[in-house]
């Protein structure tokens, strides 16, 4: 062969291209498994309960005003009745919420969906009835009003397990009958109670009706999936949350004013006033309660942009939100590991080529087929990592897959180069590279700097080890024709 080194380089390029195709197929498989996990999340949400958003409690009242309209004179005089329906929504002056959530995961085959079951104790106060008192727009009209309803709107009403509403404070406490639905034209999912006349005197025909304050306490048992949000629809809101989930991700428009995240649980507290949020005003204007989108694995909960874009009543209501996430998602980490695959294989090929160059005359020459087998073993590492991480923890799966590849390639390289010591050294170097890759996967914030320093160190090592290699002489020796043996020698 006239140019053996060039031919070998071309063969290695073809091997690298084939291995990149194999890595691409593994990457597609990772995406497919992640899509199946997302489908499992949607399946649980459809049959159990989705991410929950709490709005309220609110007071809602609807009145109908009728008046007579006379037209014409004499025999042509006619009387018709016109009607106008008006509605009022009153947010509390103060809300104090205390909630406790317990981890309640659901499974669809291999896929885990983070769920929770919680108890909520909500105390709400309204200072006066004035916002719900109807006013006549026509003299002599007839006003008919429905009872005042106290309602609590939810993102997914299927999650309600039990609800208890008590009206009044101190010894004058009455338990109200909880009814399904809110009867609100915008926030329809949830439940409501009708206030008795004794709870809050509201007379549509008497402007001097009593303006006594109202206190309500709601005890709610509820389940949900992946995320929980609360709309701060009150002049003053205090929310305490305790959970046995160790990995919360706080979101919404307001972070907790205080939080403590432990290895097995967390506590958080929000304190907010209407000076910092437009939620009370937006609720009165009927802004939408947008659904939380948590179907994508590895992503935090957020509002569904499709619902937001479809709304013609303004932006979504403000929320205080927390997501219950898994910080180590096997599909996200497998996808990130596969993206390093080609670089990983290139570094290994460089290490084999370096051993071949530095050991000329002492080690065997490495054939492109042997390079291909080494690259294939490295590619199968990512497939092993993906399959094992579905059954065991990602760290253990990574350790098993990397140990298997290091052992296999260490033994094979020792026979390939003809010296056991070279196989041990190669296996050790490969173990260091696997360790560096694991650090890159765990340190998302510092992955770029760690990877850059690692690559710089690898290039520096290659330059240092080959500083005395005469590359021209190597090419000349590779192109020189073989000298036939001398007869008789």
- Distance of alpha carbon 431 from alpha carbon 410, whole angstroms: 10
Residue 96: what pLDDT? 93
Task: For residue 94, count CB atoms less than 10 angstroms from its CB and return exposed for 0-12, middle for 13-18, buried for 19 or more.
Answer: middle
> Among 167-176, 301-310, 319-328, which stretch is predicted with the lowest mean pLDDT?
301-310
Res. 463: pLDDT tops 70: yes
Q: Is 488 exposed, middle or buried (0-12, 13-18, 19+ CB in 10 A)?
A: exposed
pLDDT band at 5 (very low <50, low <70, confident <90, very high): low
The confidence score (pLDDT) of residue 306 equals: 32
For residue 38, how many C-alpha atoms fall within 13 Å in the half-sphere facing its CB?
Answer: 16
Q: In DSSP terms, which residues pair with 154 in a beta bridge? A: 54
Query: What average pLDDT does this structure show over 254-265?
Result: 88
Q: What is the C-alpha to C-alpha distance for residues 320 and 228, in angstroms, rounded to an integer?
A: 8
- Out of 136-145, 296-305, 368-377, which region has the weakest mean confidence (pLDDT)? 296-305
Position 302 pLDDT exceeds 50: no
Asked whether residue 75 carries a pLDDT value surpassing 80, the answer given is: no
Helix (H) / strand (E) containing 10: helix 4-47
Tokens found for residue 199: 């709870």
Residue 34's nearest CA partner among 282, 233, 299 is 299
Cβ atoms within 10 Å, residue 72: 9
Q: Strand 292-293 to strand 320-324: parallel, antiparallel, or no bridges (unpaired)?
A: unpaired
- Predicted confidence (pLDDT) per residue in 16-65, tens digit: 788 778 888 888 888 888 777 777 777 777 777 788 889 989 988 888 87
Q: Is the entire prediction scored with pTM above 0.75?
A: no
Check if the beta carbon of residue 229 is closer than 8 Å to that of residue 146.
Answer: no
Q: Is 307 or 260 the better-scoring residue by pLDDT?
A: 260
Q: Which pLDDT belongs to residue 311?
A: 40
The predicted-structure confidence for 78-103, as pLDDT tens digits, reads as follows 777 777 777 888 889 899 999 999 98
User: Do residues 269 and 258 touch, judged by C-beta distance below 8 A?
Assistant: yes
| Least confident residue range of 25-34, 180-189, 435-444 | 435-444
Helix (H, G, I), strand (E, B) or coil at 381: helix
Within 285-393, residue ranges assigned H as helices are 305-310, 330-339, 341-358, 368-389
d(CA 59, CA 218): 14
Is residue 215 predicted with pLDDT exceeding 50? yes
- Choice among 229-238, 367-376, 441-450 with the minimum mean pLDDT: 441-450
- Residue 210 pLDDT: 53
């Amino acid at each position: 062969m006239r140019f053996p080194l060039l031919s070998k380089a071309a063969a290695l390029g073809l091997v690298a291209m084939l291995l990149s195709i194999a890595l691409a197929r593994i990457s597609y498989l990772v995406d497919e498994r992640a899509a199946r996990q997302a489908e499992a999340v949607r399946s649980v949400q459809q049959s159990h309960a989705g991410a929950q958003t709490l709005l309220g409690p609110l007071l809602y009242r609807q009145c109908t005003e009728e008046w007579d309209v006379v037209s014409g004179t004499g025999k042509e005089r006619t009387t018709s009745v016109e009607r106008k329906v008006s509605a009022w929504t009153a947010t509390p002056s103060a809300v104090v919420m205390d909630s406790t959530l317990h981890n309640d995961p659901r499974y669809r085959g291999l896929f885990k969906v983070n769920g929770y079951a919680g108890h909520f104790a909500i105390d709400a106060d309204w200072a006066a009835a004035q916002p719900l008192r109807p006013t006549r727009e026509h003299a002599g009209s007839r006003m008919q009003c429905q009872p005042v309803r106290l309602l609590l709107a939810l993102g997914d009403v299927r999650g309600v397990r039990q609800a208890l509403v008590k009206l009044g404070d101190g010894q004058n406490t009455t338990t109200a009958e909880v009814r399904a639905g809110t009867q609100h034209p915008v926030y329809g999912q949830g439940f409501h109670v009708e206030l008795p006349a004794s709870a809050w005197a509201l007379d549509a025909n008497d402007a001097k009706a009593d303006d006594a304050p109202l206190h309500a306490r709601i005890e709610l048992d509820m389940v949900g999936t992946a995320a929980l949000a609360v709309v701060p629809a009150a002049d003053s809101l205090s929310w305490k949350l305790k959970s046995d989930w160790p990995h919360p991700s706080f979101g919404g428009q307001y972070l907790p004013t205080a939080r403590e995240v432990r290895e097995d649980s967390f506590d958080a507290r929000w304190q907010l006033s209407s000076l910092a949020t437009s939620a009370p005003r937006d609720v009165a204007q009927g802004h939408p309660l947008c659904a939380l989108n948590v179907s994508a694995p590895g992503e935090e909960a957020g509002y569904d942009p499709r619902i937001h874009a479809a709304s013609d009543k303004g932006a979504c209501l403000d929320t205080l939100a927390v997501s219950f996430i898994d910080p180590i998602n096997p599909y996200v980490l497998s996808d990130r590991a596969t993206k390093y695959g080609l670089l990983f294989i290139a570094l290994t090929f460089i290490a084999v080529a370096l051993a071949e160059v530095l050991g000329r005359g002492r080690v065997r020459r490495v054939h492109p087929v042997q390079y291909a087998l080494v690259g294939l073993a490295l590619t199968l590492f990512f497939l092993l990592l993906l399959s094992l991480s579905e059954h065991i923890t990602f760290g253990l799966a990574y350790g098993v897959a990397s140990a298997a590849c290091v052992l296999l390639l260490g033994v094979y390289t020792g026979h390939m180069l003809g010296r056991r010591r070279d196989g041990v050294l190669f296996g050790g170097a490969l173990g260091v590279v696997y360790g560096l890759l694991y650090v890159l996967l765990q340190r998302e914030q510092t992955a770029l700097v760690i990877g850059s320093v690692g690559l710089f160190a690898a290039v520096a090592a290659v330059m240092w080890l080959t500083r005395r290699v005469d590359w021209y002489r190597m090419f000349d020796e590779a192109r020189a024709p073989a000298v036939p043996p001398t007869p008789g020698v």
